[in-house]
Amino acid sequence: MFTHGLVREKTHMRTYSRICTRREKSPGESISCETTIRAFLYCPKTERVKNMKWGLVVLAAVFEVVWVIGLKHADSALTWSSTIVGIIISFYLLIKATNSLPVGTVYAVFTGLGTAGTVLSEILLFKEQADPVKIVLIGVLLIGVIGLKLVTQDTPETKEEKS
């Protein structure tokens, strides 16, 4: 009974390996939902992990918008402290994302989303004039950021792999 458990666990590990490296399953082999969920949880090189890292970049850009607007509109200790917290959170998330994603692409996406978000926030929240040219240029910026992300090969590297 004990050896059967080991064999089954080895079979699951092979299944994880197949899912992580995107190899096709063997004919007649079925992969259960539980196995797929375990593979996502225990395999650090899955698309889900990469997408979570890109989610950190988007979240960092949201906090960038907060602190950039705070730099312009802060007028009390509370608003200045929220600006400082926004800076800290933004750069913390950016650093976490660059541990396993290409730094140049991450920074381009971060600044592009932050710029677009700041301009749109100024238009929507602070009634700045919305030039049609400005809106078109924000669209071009976002298309460039999305295109850059799509053409970049995501090869996750950790600090241990670099040394």
How do the domains of the chain map onto residue ranges? 2-42, 47-155
Q: Which structure tokens are listed for 42?
A: 């225990």
Neighbours of 1 (CB within 10 A): 4
Are 154 and 101 in contact, with CB atoms under 8 Å apart? yes
Cβ neighbors of 64 (< 8 A, separation 6 or more) are 86, 90, 110, 111, 113, 114, 117, 118
* DSSP secondary structure letter of residue 46: S
Determine the Cα–Cα distance for residues 28 and 1; give it in Å rounded to an integer. 25
- The pTM of this model reads 0.64
Neighbours of 91 (CB within 10 A): 15
pLDDT tier for residue 143 given thresholds of 50, 70 and 90: very high
In this predicted structure, what is the pLDDT of residue 7?
40
Q: Which structure tokens are listed for 97?
A: 């994302």
Q: Please write the tens of the pLDDT for every residue from 21-40.
A: 444 455 555 544 445 555 54
* Residue type, position 14, single letter: R
* Residue type, position 67, single letter: W
Q: Please write the tens of the pLDDT for every residue from 34-85.
A: 455 555 455 555 566 677 888 999 999 999 999 999 999 999 999 999 999 9
**Mean pLDDT, the chain, whole residue set:** 76
Quote the percentage of the chain above a pLDDT of 90: 43
Determine the Cα–Cα distance for residues 16 and 7; give it in Å rounded to an integer. 14
pLDDT of 146 strictly over 90: no
Are 97 and 52 in contact, with CB atoms under 8 Å apart? no
Is 89 or 32 the better-scoring residue by pLDDT? 89
Determine the Cα–Cα distance for residues 63 and 86; give it in Å rounded to an integer. 5
pLDDT of 135 strictly over 80: yes
pLDDT tier for residue 151 given thresholds of 50, 70 and 90: confident
Are 117 and 141 in contact, with CB atoms under 8 Å apart? no
